[in-house]
Amino acid sequence: MKIIRDYLLIFAGLGIIVALAFNNVILPLYVNWNNEIRVPSLTHTDLDKATKILNERTLEWTIKDTIFRRDIPSRFIMDQYPEAGQMVKENRKIQLTINLPPAKLEMPDLIAITERQAKIALDRLALILVETLVDSSDLYERTVVIRQSVLAGLPVAPGDSITITVSLGKRNLKKTMPDLLNKSLDVATRTLESQGFTLGEIQTTENSELLPNTVVSQSVTAGKEFPRERNILVDLLITDGY
């Protein structure tokens, strides 16, 4: 039994010696061979863990590039240079590509620019134009953006979906000449302005049956239609102020 115990003590001592040799000789030779350090694998780890690993090997890091993917955690390392396993000198900076959300973006103002210009503006911010609607407009010509689903100035992020509405041009709007007969001059004037017409010349005539300043005739027949944008002058004949 004493012999067995002695052998066990000997094997235990040898195990300790081997472990110390591995930690103090073999492992340093693997990590630091010929005064160089083997680059560790940093991909698929976060930046904090990578920093700790590099510090243990007297290596540093720098950001080579950033990308953004919503399905991957922020500060996640996507790529490295030099690659894992290569030998480098101490204090070498390992270049990292990490996943980082972009800086805060603001929705651009697309109103009053052409559809093509709007697409270019959205592409620059990696915003996705998911739908283009159309509608008539009295203010904007054809192919010009008249509405956007996200108001200008609001925060957006790459990949957000945007819808715009593009003008089909002016509607075929018309205005109808109102009947001004037997109305006072004040009422006739306000009616013309509200209907998009312009008061022209005013002439007077004697008429004892109507109150003064009453319209007895108009130069444009009531009920006649005109394009909304056309300027129409309307001359009036009113009773005098006897």
Do residues 89 and 42 lie in contact, with contact meaning Cβ atoms separated by under 8 Å? no
Q: How far is it, in rounded angstroms, from Cα 238 to Cα 115?
A: 52
Looking at the structure of the chain, the number of domains it has is: 3
Kindly state whether residues 7 and 90 are assigned to the same domain.
yes
Is the domain of 95 the same as that of 109?
A: no
d(Cα 136, Cα 169) in Å, to the nearest integer? Answer: 5
In a shared domain, residues 126 and 143: yes
* Contact indicator for 222, 183 with CB cutoff of 8 Å: no
Residues forming a β-bridge with 162:
129
Please check whether residues 13 and 95 belong to one and the same domain.
yes
Tokens of 169: 């041009």
50: left (phi over 0), alpha (psi -120 to 50) or beta: alpha
- Which residue, 104, 161, 163, 150, is CA-closest to 127? 161
- Same domain assignment for residues 139 and 228: no
**175 is written with which tokens?**
């205005």
Which tokens belong to 138?
């009295």
Q: How far, in Å, CA of 100 to CA of 30, rounded?
A: 33
Distance separating alpha carbons of residues 171 and 92, to the nearest angstrom: 68
How confident is the prediction along the chain (242 residues), in pLDDT tens digits per residue? 556 555 555 555 565 665 555 555 555 555 445 578 999 999 989 999 999 999 999 999 999 988 888 788 888 999 999 999 999 998 999 999 998 877 778 899 999 999 999 999 998 888 899 999 998 887 888 899 999 999 999 988 888 899 999 998 877 678 899 999 999 999 999 999 989 899 999 999 998 889 999 999 999 999 999 887 789 999 999 998 65
Domain boundary among 148, 167, 186: 167
Q: For the domain that residue 116 is a member of, what is the CATH number?
A: 3.30.10.20
Tell me the residue range of the domain where 35 lies.
Answer: 2-99
SS3 content of the chain, % helix, strand, coil (to 5): 25, 35, 40
Q: What is the pTM of this model?
A: 0.39
Whether residues 217 and 162 fall in one domain: no
238 is written with which tokens? 């009113």
Q: Are residues 87 and 28 in the same domain?
A: yes
